Each structure stands twice: as structure tokens, then as C-alpha cells.
Amino acid sequence: MSTTQKIALVTGATRGIGFETVRQLAQSGALVLLAGRKPDSAVEAADRLKAEGLSVEPITLDVTDSGQIAAAAALIQQRFGCLDILVNNAGVLVDDLQRKPSAQSLDTWRKTFDTNVFAVVEVTQALLPLLKAAPAGRIVNVSSQLGSLGWHTDPSSPIYDFKIPAYNASKTAVNAWTIHLAYELKDTPLKVNAIHPGYVQTEMNGGNGEIGVSEGARSSVGMALLDANGPSGSFTHLGKTLPW
């Protein structure tokens, strides 16, 4: 490994957008830690990218498991001493799409926020010292246009009729976390941004998206590789600002 090679970690990376984000970051020259809940799945996914000649290593990380988060941070500290890029990609959508917002169960809300919000905060908190130790750390929080309150209250917006309450609210919370953390770090080289990947064809939506994972990963990768002049505290899709 080159001493100048960036070290990146992508959560929820054994398939879909996360997997493609790992590929594109590795293609840029980074050594990427491909994180997955199940060790076998992480190893299999990493081996597929290694076969392409890419610098990818598997890491077991269930983002809802505090012990695994602490272990991942300790491993990165021991091996590398810093972390250049964190992509908080892991997420779930468990709303019952046949139910109205008021009929979603509390268990649905709890499961959604455990993974989509609380895990993002805990993983970031655990890895923040390593990101601060890098020359110019980058944090990318994978959000969604469905988290936009501006669009949800605008009848002419493209998402006005997509009321998936627990999932949507969790992404709104991710956006708020992004703003607050970016403010905290505004006088440092570290940048924090939220992105909307697009309506991507993934298992989460049954393959019903409008774009492939290759394009879906581009927003995350672009923000992960920002130079010193790039934004912090933004919410974008392919560089285009989205309404909060």
C-alpha cells in the first residue's frame, strides 16, 4: 500500500449502491474497506472486486452492533492510524407501503431509525477521531430526496405523493445530522455532506428504479473525493443542490 493511498470505509457494501461505491472508490486509487453484516458476504463481495485488480478488503460491521463498531474503529486505528473517507451507506426501508402514515407500527419506526439514523451517528462518532487524523477527511451520508421537507410540502414536486413516513423521516434526520456535524467541523479540513443517489434499481425497491447502480454510486463517490474547495453541509444529487 502506498503511504499516500487513501483509506475508505463503506457501510452496507455487499450489494447494490454500496458495492458499486466501493468499486468506484477503489478505481480512484483508494484502499476500500467493504463492510457487511455477515462475514461470508463481505469476503465474497470483496473477492469479486479483488479479482478486478482493486484494493478492497472485507470488514465485518453490523452498524446496529456497538461492539462491532468499536472493533472496526480499533482495527482501523491499529492498521492505518487514520481514515480518509467514511460513506454511511447502510440503510433499510421497512415501511408497509399498503398502510397510511398513521398506521405504520412503532416497531417499523424503531427499526428504521436504529439503522438509518442512530447507527449513522454511532458509526460516525466512533470513527471521527480517525477521520480527524487524516489530512482531509470526508464523510458522506447517503440520504434520499424523500427526506426533503421542502418537496414533501410542494404539490408540484416529484416526491409529493411518496409518503413513506418512517423511511422518509429517517432521511430528514440524516440531513439534520449532516448540517450539525458540518457546522461543528467548519473550521477543519473535514467535510460532511448528504447525497441523494437517485432512484436506483436495487433490491430495496424490487429493482424498480430508473437508473443503474453505476450512476447511483456517482454522488457518493464525488463527495468522497472532494477537493479543498468543495462544499460541506450540503444535500446534493450529482452536484445539484436539493431542497432541505
CATH code of residue 58: 3.40.50.720
Please tell me the predicted confidence (pLDDT) of residue 202. Answer: 61
* 225 belongs to a structural domain: yes
Reading the block at residue 139, the C-alpha cell is 464523510
Domain that holds residue 21: 7-241
* % of the chain with per-residue pLDDT over 70: 94
* 1 belongs to a structural domain: no
Q: CB-based contacts of 115: which residues, under 8 Å, 6+ apart?
A: 63, 64, 90, 91, 92
* 35 belongs to a structural domain: yes
Q: Of 38, 111, 167, 186, which residue is the catalytic one?
A: 167
Please tell me the predicted confidence (pLDDT) of residue 3. Answer: 57
Q: Of 100, 132, 171, 191, which residue is the catalytic one?
A: 171
* 2 belongs to a structural domain: no
Q: CB-based contacts of 189: which residues, under 8 Å, 6+ apart?
A: 135, 136, 137, 228
Q: Is 167 a catalytic residue?
A: yes
* 114 belongs to a structural domain: yes
pLDDT digits (tens, 9 = 90+) for 96-115: 999 999 999 999 999 999 99
Please tell me the predicted confidence (pLDDT) of residue 209. Answer: 60
> Letter for the amino acid at 181?
L
Residue 39 burial (CB count, 10 A): 12
Please tell me the predicted confidence (pLDDT) of residue 1. Answer: 43
Low-confidence ranges of the chain (pLDDT < 50): 1-2
Count up the domains in the chain and report the number: 1
Q: Residue 35's closest CA among 64, 6, 5, 78?
A: 64
Q: Is 183 a catalytic residue?
A: no
* 179 belongs to a structural domain: yes
Please tell me the predicted confidence (pLDDT) of residue 4. Answer: 82
